[in-house]
């Protein structure tokens, strides 16, 4: 007989459907609920990425942290069986403590190879991202609801014999919180996969923290340039959010690659265009260490057994071919209307993308 007793969260009036909080409304194996944090210093010395996810229909909870310092990437990943207490956000040495919802969170990793104890404090209200939907033929493969937020971070980070004192004035923290359905390894093939192959994917995601405002830019386009996701919103405390129209990116790639070296984003409308300049500081491919596709050593939501913890160190001067077919997070300095901000320039472009002149998966910048 299945163990279907109430769980602690059932004590609270938070139910959305007539089910125990042990269950999600969808039986889709790809159901997920997770978060990602980016912590970066303003000079490009270090980029810390932290994430934690729950995959209720495969019974898995996992987390990861990667830290880029110079050309070295330190990574800690942990996975375990999903338990009953959804309020306890901890896997192996990694944990997240919600001290004040939407305002203050504590990020901790107690591992000899990579450790940190950070307090993340919001400086701007959380902003909803556009509702995200993708289909393969008639089948819904991704449906996510997300919010993004930026703030200051304080604490300490240690790895590889180095120690970083993190201060709110010299470091920035952004975070993304999402849930819904999103493909995890084990997705079936069959007719829809055969008749609707992926031709191309072009993605841009930029949360930017300025001293007095927060900017979020999102662009997702198909192979022919058709835009399936679009957002450019400016958040200023005490004032209505301002939509900045249809962002138009200009990305310069390193010859022979699709690695961006600089970018310019045009925001606003034809009456008043604004230029968001992007200066890249440090880069971390999410397929290396962080468990995003097409990583070949570990991916989110995969069963690794109980109490699994894995530690890796990657030399980023060595070739990592899979990184070219995934998304890369770049710590970046941004300039807009004379203001300087800091945040993440997340970009991935693989397969055909007509507006960029890429003709297929083997196509690169001249």
**Each residue's pLDDT expressed in tens, for the chain with a length of 366 residues:** 456 789 999 999 999 999 999 999 999 999 999 999 999 999 999 999 999 999 999 999 999 999 999 999 999 999 999 999 999 999 999 999 999 999 999 999 999 999 999 999 999 999 999 999 999 888 899 999 999 999 999 999 999 999 999 999 999 999 999 999 999 998 777 888 888 888 999 999 999 999 999 999 999 999 999 999 999 999 998 999 999 999 999 999 999 999 999 999 999 876 788 999 999 999 999 999 999 999 999 999 999 999 999 999 999 999 999 999 999 999 999 999 999 999 999 999 999 999 999 999 999 999
List the Cα angle 71/293/144 in 5-degree steps: 120
CA–CA dist 350, 259 (Å, integer): 11
pLDDT at 1: 46
pLDDT at 3: 67
CA–CA dist 296, 299 (Å, integer): 7
User: Under DSSP, is residue 146 helix (H, G, I), strand (E, B) or coil?
Assistant: strand
Q: Give the length of the chain.
A: 366
Stated as kind and residue range, the H or E segment containing 215 is strand 214-221
pLDDT at 30: 95
CA–CA dist 279, 183 (Å, integer): 32
CA–CA dist 322, 210 (Å, integer): 33
CA–CA dist 138, 197 (Å, integer): 13
User: Domains along the chain?
Assistant: 29-181+199-356 (2.40.370.10)
Stated as kind and residue range, the H or E segment containing 195 is helix 191-195
**DSSP code for 193:** H
pTM (two decimals): 0.96
Q: Which of 111, 113, 96, 85 lies closest to 39, judged by CA?
A: 96
pLDDT at 270: 66
Q: 311: Cβ–Cβ under 8 A, 6 or more apart, which residues?
A: 75, 76, 77, 111, 113, 114
CA–CA dist 243, 217 (Å, integer): 10
CA 294 remoteness from chain centre: 15
CA–CA dist 266, 245 (Å, integer): 9
Backbone angles phi, psi at 200, to 5 degrees: -175, 155
Residues facing residue 358 across a β-bridge: 353
Stated as kind and residue range, the H or E segment containing 353 is none
Taking every pair of Cα atoms in the chain, the longest distance, rounded to a whole number of angstroms, is 66
pLDDT at 273: 87
Backbone angles phi, psi at 91, to 5 degrees: -140, 120
């Amino acid at each position: 007989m299945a163990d279907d007793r109430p769980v602690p969260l059932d004590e609270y009036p938070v139910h959305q459907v007539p089910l125990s909080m042990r269950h999600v409304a969808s039986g889709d194996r790809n159901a997920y609920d997770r978060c990602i944090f980016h912590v970066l210093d303003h000079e490009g010395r270090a980029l810390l990425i932290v994430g934690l996810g729950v995959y209720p229909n495969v019974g898995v909870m996992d987390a990861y942290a990667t830290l880029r310092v110079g050309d070295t990437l330190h990574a800690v990943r942990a996975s375990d069986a999903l338990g009953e207490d959804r309020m306890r956000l901890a896997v192996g040495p990694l944990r997240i403590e919600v001290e004040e919802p939407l305002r203050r969170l504590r990020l901790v990793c107690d591992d000899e190879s990579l450790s940190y104890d950070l307090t993340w404090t919001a400086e701007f209200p959380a902003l909803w991202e556009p509702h995200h939907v993708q289909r393969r033929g008639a089948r819904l493969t991704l449906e996510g609801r997300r919010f993004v937020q930026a703030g200051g971070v304080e604490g300490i980070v240690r790895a590889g014999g180095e120690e970083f004192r993190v201060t709110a004035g010299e470091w920035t923290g952004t975070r993304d919180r999402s849930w819904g359905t999103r493909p995890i390894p084990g997705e079936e093939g069959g007719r829809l996969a055969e008749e609707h192959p992926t031709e191309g994917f072009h993605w841009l995601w930029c949360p930017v923290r300025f001293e007095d405002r927060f900017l979020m830019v999102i662009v997702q386009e198909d192979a022919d340039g058709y835009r399936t996701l679009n957002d450019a919103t400016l958040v200023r405390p005490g004032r209505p959010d301002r939509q900045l129209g249809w962002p138009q990116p200009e990305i310069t790639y390193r010859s022979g690659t699709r690695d961006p070296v600089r970018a310019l984003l045009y925001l606003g409308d034809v009456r008043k265009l604004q230029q968001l300049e992007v200066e890249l500081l440090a880069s971390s491919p999410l397929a290396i260490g962080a468990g995003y596709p097409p990583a070949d050593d570990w991916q989110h939501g995969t069963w690794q057994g109980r109490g699994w913890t894995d530690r890796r160190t990657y030399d980023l001067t060595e070739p990592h071919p899979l990184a070219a077919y995934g998304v890369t997070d770049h710590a970046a300095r941004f300039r807009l209307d004379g203001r300087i901000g800091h945040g993440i320039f997340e970009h991935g472009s693989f397969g055909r993308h007509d507006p960029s002149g890429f003709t297929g998966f083997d196509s690169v910048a001249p």
